[in-house]
Amino acid sequence: MTLPTIALFRNDFYLSTTEAIVTAVIADGGIVLDQTCFYATSGGQPGDSGFLERADGSRIEIASTRHGDTKDVILHVPADAQPVPDIGEKLVLHVDWTRRYRLMRMHTACHLLSVVCPYPITGAAVGEEESRVDFDMGETIDKDSVTADMMSLVNANHPVYLQWITDAELMANPGIVKSKNVRPPVGLGRVSLVCIGENAAIDSQPCGGTHVSETQEVGEIFIARIEKKGKENRRFRIRFGKPETAVL
Ligand SMILES: [Zn+2]
């Protein structure tokens, strides 16, 4: 039996380092800690990489972070040939912040896209360079106008914040869930709603990922491509930077 981990990243998206105690080391290599700021793969956002610093200053490099058999257990998966820590050992955790911050910006961009394109979401994957969001929609939409609408939300610098509701409140209001096939992050007794704009005027959506706190932090983004995936499905690809200028 594995002890649960306090997931500090749920309440503080900007926490990149913390101290923690090793509570278990799983046979296939996952290190379990009493608490962590490492985000565990969930809801289309990949888990954090980084390193765990030992008392002598040496490092245990972490390749990825994922949930164990249950959502309250978080496994820090070491890279190949890393030293194994002792149970009870105190470590200082360091998230690869450059990577995580890009993921936070991208993840927030996915929410902005879902505001601009208010269709049911059938899938999403957040990446460091590119993210994709799939919508249940049949019509064709101009990618440059989607980019312009997203950038006006970025430039308006709307606040992004969390509101907590219980699983029961979410079940009683199924209309607030935009995803069609993706299960909302229930199972922990309460669910975080990601709200954009004062009084959630722009959007509110159940999501357990990490997001920036103001839309301006997303920075320059654009829709690189919209692909047709069947008659009733469109796949949008978001990238950082300015739209590539068409070469004539
Ligand atoms: Zn989210």
pLDDT tens digits in sequence order for the chain, 248 residues long: 567 899 999 989 999 999 999 999 997 779 999 999 999 999 899 999 999 999 999 999 999 999 988 888 999 999 999 999 999 999 999 999 999 999 999 999 999 999 999 999 999 999 999 999 999 998 889 999 999 999 999 999 999 999 998 888 888 887 777 776 556 666 678 888 999 999 999 999 989 899 999 999 999 999 999 999 888 899 999 999 988 764 54
Q: How far is the CA of 212 from the centre of ligand 1 (A)?
A: 10
Q: How far is the CA of 210 from the centre of ligand 1 (A)?
A: 6
* Strand ranges for the chain from DSSP E: 6-7, 17-25, 31-33, 35-36, 50-53, 59-67, 74-78, 90-95, 121-125, 130-135, 160-166, 190-196, 203-206, 221-228, 234-240
Q: How far is the CA of 106 from the centre of ligand 1 (A)?
A: 9
Within 13 Å, how many C-alpha atoms sit on residue 244's CB side? 7
Q: How far is the CA of 91 from the centre of ligand 1 (A)?
A: 29
The model's pTM: 0.92
Q: How far is the CA of 182 from the centre of ligand 1 (A)?
A: 12
Q: How far is the CA of 112 from the centre of ligand 1 (A)?
A: 10
Structural element, H or E, at residue 151: helix 143-155
Q: How far is the CA of 51 from the centre of ligand 1 (A)?
A: 25
Q: How far is the CA of 72 from the centre of ligand 1 (A)?
A: 19
Q: How far is the CA of 204 from the centre of ligand 1 (A)?
A: 10
Q: How far is the CA of 86 from the centre of ligand 1 (A)?
A: 35
Q: How far is the CA of 239 from the centre of ligand 1 (A)?
A: 17
Cα 104 vs. chain centroid, distance in angstroms? Answer: 6
Q: How far is the CA of 87 from the centre of ligand 1 (A)?
A: 34
Quote the pLDDT of residue 43.
86
Q: How far is the CA of 108 from the centre of ligand 1 (A)?
A: 6
Q: Give me Rg for the CA atoms of the chain.
A: 19
Quote the pLDDT of residue 178.
73
Q: How far is the CA of 107 from the centre of ligand 1 (A)?
A: 6
